[in-house]
Amino acid sequence: MSAKPARSVFITGAGIGIGAACARSFAAAGYRVVLADVLKEEGAGTAAQIRSDGGQAEFVSLDVRDSEQVDDAVRRTQGDGFDVVIANAGIARRQPFCDLDDAGWMETVDVNLGGSMRVLRATLPAMVERRSGALIALSSISGIAYGWDQHAHYSASKAGVIGLVRALAVEFGAAGIRVNGIAPGFIRTAQSLSVEHSLGEEGLRKAVATVPLGRIGEPDDVADVALFLASDAARYVSGQVLVVDGGLLVRQA
């Protein structure tokens, strides 16, 4: 009797940060992991580390702004369809709104929102045929409730991800597919540590005082929520956006 194939997950932006943490968590849970990222060295390195730890992982170079690249990467790696897809690729660029040109706006929106759309669009048909699957898209507290100075394009794109999640949950629920989002708060990643485009180390240190749980989040804190949303424990959860922020948004003062 042949062994049951491992469950599979496709993760974008999987070379570093939250995406890499998701890749490690899903691999440890027994998934075959396909890591996609525009960062080739980091993505290949994360995949190699997973394999050295006994997991199943392969890396595909991918720019989520390119529909042909997305469609080809999915076609080459999905087999009869992924069990889980995590649309995580994203960028943040600090830019005063009145100085923001069309190209700067479109770059951020095309990666954060357009990239999520392309990946989910490419992976859904096989899920529909199988009549099962879980889609997870990464938003942000900046897209759900939290204004971020000089990041209007980022906030708008992450708000768009929430709309995408809700619409797809309704459209594909009858096919047995669940669609959810995650809105992280202050998480220690390369993006948040950027002084040019985000808080930087000093900014994160100061932000601790605003978080009820008294610490900055780690990528694994988000990855574990993604693993929950993909699991049977979340079998009746769809169209939701789970905030992972240590209590930041409900703090009164």
Residue 238 has pLDDT above 70, yes or no: yes
Residue 16 has pLDDT above 60, yes or no: yes
Q: Out of 31, 146, 154, 236, pick the active-site residue.
A: 154
Active site residue 154: yes
Residue 29 has pLDDT above 90, yes or no: yes
Categorize the per-residue pLDDT at 146 as very low, low, confident or very high, splitting at 50, 70 and 90.
confident
Please give the residue that has the higher pLDDT: either 2 or 187. Answer: 187
Please give the residue that has the higher pLDDT: either 81 or 195. Answer: 81
Residue 1 contacts by C-beta under 8 Å, 6 or more apart in sequence? none
Residue 1 has pLDDT above 60, yes or no: no
Residue 144 contacts by C-beta under 8 Å, 6 or more apart in sequence? 158, 159, 162, 183, 241, 243, 249
10: phi then psi, degrees, rounded to nearest 5: -110, 125
pLDDT, residue 25, reads 98
Tokens of 162: 């929430």
Reported as a single tens digit per residue, the pLDDT across 208-230 is 999 999 999 999 999 999 999 99
pLDDT, residue 3, reads 61
pLDDT, residue 160, reads 98
Please state the pTM of the whole predicted model. 0.96
Reported as a single tens digit per residue, the pLDDT across 160-211 is 999 999 999 999 999 999 999 999 999 999 989 898 888 899 999 999 999 9
